[in-house]
Structure 1
Amino acid sequence: MPTRHLHLTPWRVAVAALATVWVLVLLSLVVSPRIAVLALAAFALAGAAARVASPLRRAFVVRRRVVDVIVLLVFGVVLGYLGLTAALG
């Protein structure tokens, strides 16, 4: 395997993340938008935790780790706040 591909995200992780987001979209249509938004917030917070815990060479190396963690934390907290306070039906 060429060394330039060693830093890419494994395809299984990318497919699992995409499938999870699609499940959350379906959840919002079938069950409740509030539950889906809160689940997406939890998914973003889990992504921040995974980014902190992942080895530097096995992670997304396009940006700095600190930037990824801060963006995911803010995204998760804002989605959680909106999921708890907004009138989502």
Structure 2
Amino acid sequence: MRETPLTTAAVAAGALAVVGGIVAFGVLVDVQAAVLTLAGVALLAAAARLALPATRVFSVRRRAVDVAIMLAFAVALAGLGLTTAL
């Protein structure tokens, strides 16, 4: 049986840098824009997980489970970002 390769340190560091940058943007500039940006990133991650082969993106569970979780996360963040006023 073929094993899926582990995510490289560069990919993991890049993902953490993107999320950290968006959180910093939310703290310093605008929380609502940062939440909506995180929703967009989750949507892009779901599309990447769906379209790219398993060796190119994070793969921990089955593809359908990962995509469903990321889409639910994107919808929840978008809903919160559009309806919550600070």
TM-score by length of 1: 0.85
From the CA coordinates, give the structure whose radius of gyration is larger.
1
Structure 2, unaligned runs of 5 or more: none
**Hey, what's the Cα distance between the residues in 2 that align with 1:23 and 1:59?**
20
4+ aligned runs moved over 3 Å, structure 1: 57-61
Using the TM superposition, give the Cα deviation of residue 12 of structure 1 relative to its aligned residue in structure 2, in angstroms. Answer: 1.7
CA contact (8 A) 1:7 1:60 kept: no
Relative contact order, higher structure (CA 8 A, sep 6+): 1
**Hey, what's the Cα distance between the residues in 1 that align with 2:69 and 2:7?**
18
**Hey, what's the Cα distance between the residues in 2 that align with 1:46 and 1:7?**
22
Structure 1, unaligned runs of 5 or more: none
Which residue of the other structure, out of 43, 46, 49, is the alignment partner of 2:47? 49
Instruction: Evaluate the alpha carbon distance shift between residue 26 and residue 57 of structure 1 in structure 2; reply closer, same or farther with a 3 A threshold.
Output: closer
**Hey, what's the Cα distance between the residues in 2 that align with 1:84 and 1:64?**
31
Higher helix share: 1
Cα displacement string for residues 26-82 of structure 1 (whole angstroms, at most 9, x for unaligned residues) = 111111110010000001001101101111344434210000000000000110011
Using the aligned pairs only, state the percent identity.
Answer: 48
